Amino acid sequence: MSSGMWRGPGWRLFEADPAYGKAVRDWIVRIIDAHACPVDEQDAALVVSELFGNAVTHGPDAGQVLVAYLLWRHGARILVCDSGGPTQPRLRDVDDLAEGGRGLQVVDALTARWGSFRAARAQVVWCDLGQPLPAATVEAWAWLNALLAGPVLGTRPGESRGAEAGFACRSSSRSALQLPSCRG
């Protein structure tokens, strides 16, 4: 779907395995570059890498991770969804010598805003790079509601969907998905 306001959504499934981190980063960089999106590609790569790593670490074992995007004239929204682990993503204070726990601090530092919510059977973590998309834009979330209501996490990993694969989502302006809260 491409409107005057945004391009996308587009999404791809990956195995919940850290070995796919490079493929996730490369895919997002290609998308941003192909559409001349005005966000720093390396920031986007680092942010999606952190979110994907968190989904692999904190989501269910041997699952799948959906990585998605929406692009607009002044920014990009990146989403990472897994089948829902037992905890909600949150910023943590970590000891200087701790080996982990800084991923969302990186996301918080590099993005205009970020947030998380549960939808259907998924844990969704999203962030806006560049100028944030207005939070009240219901259409910016309606496609995700429709996608997660279907068998998306049962699709074969590596399969692309969305704008580049002809995905079209028609929905009313009132989506069953509640607009998420955000940080930033």
Q: How many structural domains does the chain have? A: 1
Whether 177 maps to a domain, the answer reads no
Cα–Cα distance measured from residue 78 to residue 114, given in angstroms and rounded to the nearest whole number: 9
With cut-offs at 50, 70 and 90, classify the pLDDT of residue 96: low
Question: Quick check: pTM over 0.85?
Answer: no
With cut-offs at 50, 70 and 90, classify the pLDDT of residue 168: very low
Whether 145 maps to a domain, the answer reads yes
Whether 43 maps to a domain, the answer reads yes
Q: In what order do the strands lie in the sheet with 75-82?
A: 113-119, 122-130, 75-82, 64-72, 6-15, 160-162
Whether 156 maps to a domain, the answer reads yes
> Above 70 in pLDDT, residue 138?
no
Q: Which residue has the higher pLDDT, 1 or 140?
A: 140
| Average pLDDT of the residues in 79-89 | 84
Structural domain that includes position 94: 6-165
Whether 178 maps to a domain, the answer reads no
Highest mean pLDDT among 10-14, 98-102, 176-180: 10-14
Cα–Cα distance measured from residue 57 to residue 134, given in angstroms and rounded to the nearest whole number: 30
**pLDDT (tens digit per residue) in 57-68:** 888 777 899 999
Whether 179 maps to a domain, the answer reads no
Residue 40's CATH number: 3.30.565.10
pLDDT, position 71: 92
Whether 37 maps to a domain, the answer reads yes
Cα–Cα distance measured from residue 25 to residue 38, given in angstroms and rounded to the nearest whole number: 17
Whether 171 maps to a domain, the answer reads no
**CB distance 132 to 149 below 8 Å:** no
What backbone torsions phi and psi does residue 101 show, to the nearest 5 degrees? 95, 5
> Above 50 in pLDDT, residue 182?
no
**CB distance 114 to 108 below 8 Å:** yes
